[in-house]
Structure 1
Amino acid sequence: MTNINKGLLHRAFSAFVFHPHPGKLLMQQTASEKITFPDMWTNTCCSHPLDDFGEEKIETDQLGLEHELGIPNSQAPPDNFQYLTRIHYIAPSDGNPITPWFKLIARDYLFEWWNILLSKKKAETGL
């Protein structure tokens, strides 16, 4: 919290993978080895964008959910991801069982997003 209280923020992203037919969200439990928010339940995938160092952007075969979760790019191509929103929050790693960003997103956005995505899917498939 020391860096956060100084106003030093960092960027992160979260991916939410929904299965369209049973209407379920793929969730994960974070690794025990994580420095912040270990062993907590959260959305499908969370990470940090690469910095502006060229050598960090060369990561062969590490694009998308295939690297993170073993989901082949053919099933979840990065080009099919849809940007939904941006949030700004401050939260300590205080041991609650659910990550603070997921609590915030679930409370304020998740059900609306799911309805929008279902409507879009129905319009695309003509169902």
Structure 2
Amino acid sequence: MKVSTIFNQFFKCNQCKLTLTSPRIRNNQRHSVSRKIMTEKIDWSRLDPFQIGLLQEQCILVDENDKIVGFDSKKHCHLMENIEKGLLHRANEFLLTQRSKQKITFPNYFTNTCCSHPLYNAMEIEEKDAIGVRRAAQRRLNLELGIDPLEIPLSEIKFMTKFLYKAESSDSFWGEHEIDYALIIHKDIHIDPDPKEIQSWLYIDRQTIVPYLEEQKRKGNPTTPWFQIILNNFLFKWWDNLEDLDAFIEPNKIHRL
């Protein structure tokens, strides 16, 4: 029987703190104009309608110390032009997934089990004990992998640490600048992946994951930049200590890698 080790990331968008003054209002107006110009260049007909709809979700804006400063749509958080202006948004086998070709950022890339954003609402903005982020994990695991939330109670979702990262997607329009929360679930589960989110998946062991991802990269299927950070800095340390993960939890630290 396979025991799945699930590493999930849930992102907060981040923006440098700004005071609520008239210059900020003018800045927002300029940003709105530039957003319109940039989005007019995007060929929306090539994008999946379901994924376009998800761009309207409201993400949590934070500063680089993970303090909430506001909210904005997932669309605006992932436009590369806004990222450059400072917008940054929150047998022990591993369940590896490949993002669907319909994904707007990093389509076809291999990545961790599930990735998404907590939303700007009362349930997912709650910060005590990372309860909001863990609720977001339940929601997205259900949406992407068909996992019943009753199978993964919040008490079984272990929040490990946070890291800050920035990357541009292959089309140059979209990108990521985020505070990433790394979460682990270690148990047997039933999955029913949504093909609009995940085109392939497999359980993989510790010895195989790196050569497998290197082979996929040679075939034109690279690894997402955030999962590469996890691979390089956290994955194997956690994998080797699944029965004693509490010793590696760093809830108040933001790794700047």
TM above 0.5: yes
How far apart, in 1, do the equivalents of 2:155 and 2:142 lie? 14
Aligned equivalent of 2:85: 6
**Count of aligned positions:** 104
Q: CA deviation at 1:35?
A: 1.3
Mapped partners of 2:168, 2:139: distance in 1: 29
Q: Offset of 1:114 from its aligned partner?
A: 1.7
In 2, Cα distance between equivalents of 1:83 and 1:77: 13
RMSD: 2.5
C-alpha separation between the residues in 2 aligned to 1:67 and 1:103? 24
- Larger-Rg structure: 2
Does structure 2 conserve the Cα–Cα contact (< 8 Å) formed by 1:42 and 1:102? yes
Contact (CA 8 Å) 1:30, 1:39: kept in 2 or not? yes
Among 93, 98, 117, the alignment partner of 1:29 is: 98
1:97 to 216, 222, 227: 222
Residue identity opposite 2:225 in structure 1: P
Do 1:30 and 1:37's aligned partners in 2 also have CA atoms closer than 8 Å?
yes
For normalisation by structure 2, the TM-score amounts to 0.36
Q: SS of 2:159's equivalent?
A: coil
Deviates more, 1:23-32 or 1:71-80: 71-80
Which residue identity does 2:228 align to in structure 1? K
Return the letter of the residue paired with 1:92. Answer: E
Counterpart amino acid of 2:158? Answer: Q
Letter matched to residue 67 of structure 1 = L
Structure with higher RCO (Cα < 8 A, 6+ apart): 2
**Alignment partners' CA distance in 1, 2:102 and 2:241:** 35
Gaps of 5+ in 2: 1-79, 124-137, 171-219, 246-257
Q: TM-score, normalised by structure 1?
A: 0.69
Q: 1:98 to 1:72 in 2, by over 3 A?
A: same
Q: Which residue of 2 aligns with 1:40?
A: 109
C-alpha offsets along residues 81-100 of structure 1, whole Å, 9 cap, x if unaligned? Answer: 00111010111113861100
The alignment status of 1:83 with 2:159, answered yes or no, reads yes
